[in-house]
Amino acid sequence: MAQLSDRYIKALKAQDKPYIITEESAERGGGRFQVKVYTSGRKQFLIQYFHNKRRRQIGIGNYGAMTLADAGQEFIRLSASVQQGICPKTERQRVEMEEAIQQEEEKRQRAGLRTFVELWDDFYSSIKLQTKIKSLNQLRWMFDSDIKPLINPELLALEFTQDHVRALLKRVIDLQGE
């Protein structure tokens, strides 16, 4: 174990196999701050921790692209999560998934693509003023009970195919026959 410093990290040399240097840590349960030196000479900051009685490791960033001070701050943040019982690797994956979903939604909105349900809501809003309330209520009930359950809320209107129409019409016809 070593006390990590810029001078110490810069002096680390590549070897035939990757190796890991672990910083001395006085606090138990928050993980261990490490530097992994690859055969290429690349140096990566890591946190090693235990979650559900299993040893885990997650990269914090590469030395050079990230300073030792920044990596240390990120280690402190991740260490606090570990102490609260949160797995940083799982949390990072969850955040990345949420960001990907958000980016996809933004991309779809920028492209002007709308889902089938959004298109239906627009249609419904556009006929409200010209249609009797009883007819509107019947239309809303029919959509909510017969159509909406069969439509994936993520289905884009431009992906709505003849097969979708056939399935919807079959459902409505079958319900009227009951």
pLDDT band at 26 (very low <50, low <70, confident <90, very high): low
Q: Model confidence over 64-119: pLDDT tens digits?
A: 999 999 999 999 999 999 999 889 998 999 999 999 988 888 877 767 778 888 88
Q: How far apart are the first and last CA of the chain?
A: 76
pLDDT tens digits, one per residue of 129-175: 888 888 888 888 888 887 888 788 888 888 888 888 888 788 777 76
Q: Quick one: pLDDT at residue 96?
A: 92
- The number of beta carbons lying within 10 Å of the beta carbon of residue 6 is 11
CA 4, chain centre distance (Å): 32
pLDDT band at 59 (very low <50, low <70, confident <90, very high): very high
Q: What's the CATH fold of domain 6-87? A: Double Stranded RNA Binding Domain (3.30.160)
Query: Hey, is 28 helix, strand or coil?
Result: coil
Does pLDDT of 35 surpass 80? Answer: yes
Query: What are the domain boundaries of the chain?
Result: 6-87, 116-177
Q: Could you identify the residue written with the tokens 């556009």?
A: 126
Residue 1 predicted with pLDDT over 60: no
